[in-house]
Structure 1
């Protein structure tokens, strides 16, 4: 596929496609408009495709439950799926601490501030 160009593809406008690279990195691509090139358009083919929009960043969810928003970065717990894991309050409390409030492993916990949520709070305030 590395030699395939957009002009070689047959696609439907408005239909979502999945672009996969590096083996497992997935991006949803939607072609929303297509037309023939005009004199006023950029004539250099190397400058295409032109990106007309900005990607939408969603708030970061907890790595364990995928339900709640992440509030904590946890490092060094061998039971977690990644070395640095983002957890919500509930999962942090139930998974990383015992019933007495003591850490189960020698892990490090840092607060996580989601940039998207901060912008939303500033906008609504």
Structure 2
């Protein structure tokens, strides 16, 4: 269902190669980027059989546009402490963590690096 979408894709001013943040279901976030776009025309399907028209190709397909051509894998580091949440912070040469780089989620970073008043325990 697209009833909860605030901005239709056709209303987004496209900039090629720029990452966009796609949010859905209130909390699920994905980065997408556009590398190329083509205007929807009958001539864009010139490889189709002459008896298959562009209109019939669209009618026979549930969702012809946009067509996904490639899905890249986004490598996301998990928190080194809890191993449950994605890392939001990374430390380099942190003597307290024991490895460099070390990745922390938002929940583990402060208790591991700050005192009860929020002051940094490291240098």
TM-score bin (small chain): 0.3 to 0.5
Which structure has more relative contact order (CA 8 Å, sep 6+)? It is 1
Higher strand share: 1
Of structures 1 and 2, the larger Rg is shown by 2
TM-score by length of 2: 0.42
How high is the TM-score relative to the length of structure 1?
A: 0.41
